[in-house]
Chains A and B, each alone.
Chain A
Amino acid sequence: MFKITNLNVLIKNKELLNNINLEIKEQEVHAIMGPNGAGKSTLLKAIMSYPGLQKSIGKIEYENQDITNKLPNEIANLGIYYLAQNPMAIEGVTTSELIRTALQEKGKWKDIFTFNKECNKICEILEIPKDFIHREINVSMSGGEKKKQELLIMHFLEPKLIILDEIDSGLDVDAVKIVANFLKEYLKEHEDCSILLVSHQPLLLKYLEPTHVHLLINKTFIKNGDKKLKDEILENGFQKFNGTML
């Protein structure tokens, strides 16, 4: 359903990613691991056509469409949801307003009764107050609350590919479990869905059980594997792999 071929990414002529290849199929959970500054966030942003990132070579395909040069909103409306490492705050705009506007853009409509009912249910699962939907987007929210709020939005947009940049940062132990269960449940309920995530934390990776693990060091994937690669990295750190590459 999703494929990256030979992707190079530049910012102001500086190369941030080189020769990235990745293929994701339905129901798979892919985890990207790698040291700080390796280019993990850059890759996720590049998929979403983040302003300023230039895809100089390569191709990104999603459901048999070339999305390499599509606009962020076009990519989103095709069913890709991106949750940033630090979600933006938008003053004066409530989460509810954003969701309703976004649904309208997608040509979906939900009556207020269904909307509220679903919202209450999700807030309960995520263990956030029911009035969260009426708060300003990511304004005066704690790190963990922001991430949960983003998941609340995700529920309504019903994406097929979920891209998560360190969703576990800022989450306490209990919250990691709540979030992981929420994602697993979503995956179960949506047969054609898959997840691409970046994480440094063993706990989230333990709960989410990635089917594929990619090690990103120095602008490119130097190793691809499964759960075992994750355990190897968590046990030995990145140094060992850095060595094998040189």
Chain B
Amino acid sequence: MSKEEIIKIEKENTELNILQDTIITGWYFPKFPFVCNINISPNVKLFCKSLIEENNINGTINIYSSNNSELNLSLILKLYGNNELEIANYIEENQNVSQINIKVLQMDSKKSTIKTVGVIKKNTKDNDFTEKVKVLNIKEEKIKCMPELIVLSNEATANHSVTMKTFTDEELFYLESKGLNKLLAKKIIVEGFLNN
């Protein structure tokens, strides 16, 4: 049985040890800059599928994988205001599997920066790291995405992709020409992005 947990970040520096299989069911972010370190113990699975609707967050989430651990992180970030968020996964030892899927949407006219980092340390082996980041920009480029992948081991599989999508006048026109008003057309494109 997995444990269910809501991650509450209430201090500038938060340290969390994941000692057994855990499902993260929600996040609580503070209104001040923060660093949150999450350590996954050996042989433990950490699973998280969350919709995060937040404004003005500024922080770093570092996830450390040790030995034979599994990380499955799916986040949908619906952002308001100016946000700066870094999500990093450091793979320290062997036989870890990490799958990270992040979708980002800026909901207003402010700007956000999302940095994603994947590091596979030296002298490690049999690690498998996959990361997909998808960004939907509404008309202008509101989200800056900075992906970084550092693989220092020769015996690792690492994949990452970033897709930036802007919804264009042509897409909106297509839906409008089928009878949908502009607002509805935008809504349906956003829903499509989230469901996909």
The residues of A with any CB-CB pair to B shorter than 8 Å are 48, 50-52, 71-73, 75-77, 82, 84, 87-88, 90-93, 97-98, 101-102, 105-106, 136, 153, 157
Q: Is chain B's interface secondary structure helix, strand, loop, or mixed overall?
A: helix
Additional A-B contacts beyond A76-B177, A102-B178, A105-B184 (15; CB < 8 A): A50-B173, A52-B169, A72-B176, A73-B176, A77-B179, A88-B171, A90-B192, A92-B195, A93-B192, A97-B188, A98-B188, A101-B184, A101-B188, A105-B180, A153-B178
The answer to whether B177 and A101 touch across the interface, beta carbons within 8 angstroms, is: no
Q: Which residue of B lies closest to A159 (CB)?
A: B179
A105: chain B residues at CB < 8 Å are: 179-181, 184
Contact of B178 among A51, A91, A98 (CB under 8 A): A98
Contact of B179 among A50, A87, A88, A106 (CB under 8 A): A106
A205 to B180, CA, bound (A): 31
A52 to B173, CA, bound (A): 11
The answer to whether B178 and A84 touch across the interface, beta carbons within 8 angstroms, is: no
The answer to whether B176 and A76 touch across the interface, beta carbons within 8 angstroms, is: yes
The answer to whether B189 and A90 touch across the interface, beta carbons within 8 angstroms, is: yes
B17: chain A residues at CB < 8 Å are: none
Contact of B173 among A51, A136, A153 (CB under 8 A): A51
The answer to whether A51 and B169 touch across the interface, beta carbons within 8 angstroms, is: yes
- Residue picked from B169, B177, B180, B194, most chain A C-beta under 10 Å: B177
B140: chain A residues at CB < 8 Å are: none
Q: Is chain A's interface secondary structure helix, strand, loop, or mixed overall?
A: mixed
The residues of B with any CB-CB pair to A shorter than 8 Å are 165, 169-182, 184-185, 188-189, 191-196
B181: chain A residues at CB < 8 Å are: 71, 73, 105
The answer to whether A102 and B177 touch across the interface, beta carbons within 8 angstroms, is: no
B185: chain A residues at CB < 8 Å are: 73
20 contacts between A and B (CB under 8 A): A51-B173, A71-B176, A71-B181, A72-B173, A73-B178, A73-B179, A73-B180, A75-B177, A76-B176, A76-B177, A82-B177, A90-B188, A91-B192, A92-B192, A92-B195, A98-B178, A101-B180, A105-B179, A105-B181, A136-B196
A101 to B165, CA, bound (A): 23
Q: Which residue of B lies closest to A51 (CB)?
A: B169
The answer to whether B174 and A92 touch across the interface, beta carbons within 8 angstroms, is: no
Shortest CB-to-CB span from B183 to chain A, Å, is 10
- Residue picked from A77, A82, A88, A97, most chain B C-beta under 10 Å: A88
A52 to B172, CA, bound (A): 13
Shortest CB-to-CB span from B182 to chain A, Å, is 7
A82: chain B residues at CB < 8 Å are: 177
A157: chain B residues at CB < 8 Å are: 178-179
Contact of A93 among B176, B179, B188 (CB under 8 A): B188
The answer to whether A92 and B193 touch across the interface, beta carbons within 8 angstroms, is: yes
A50: chain B residues at CB < 8 Å are: 173
- Residue picked from B172, B173, B185, B196, most chain A C-beta under 10 Å: B173
Shortest CB-to-CB span from A241 to chain B, Å, is 31
B169: chain A residues at CB < 8 Å are: 51-52
Shortest CB-to-CB span from B189 to chain A, Å, is 7
A87: chain B residues at CB < 8 Å are: 174
The answer to whether B178 and A90 touch across the interface, beta carbons within 8 angstroms, is: no
Q: Which residue of A lies closest to B188 (CB)?
A: A93
A102: chain B residues at CB < 8 Å are: 178-180
B165: chain A residues at CB < 8 Å are: 91
Shortest CB-to-CB span from B135 to chain A, Å, is 13
Shortest CB-to-CB span from A47 to chain B, Å, is 10
Closest 6 A-B residue pairs measured CB to CB? A92-B192, A92-B196, A88-B174, A93-B192, A72-B176, A76-B179
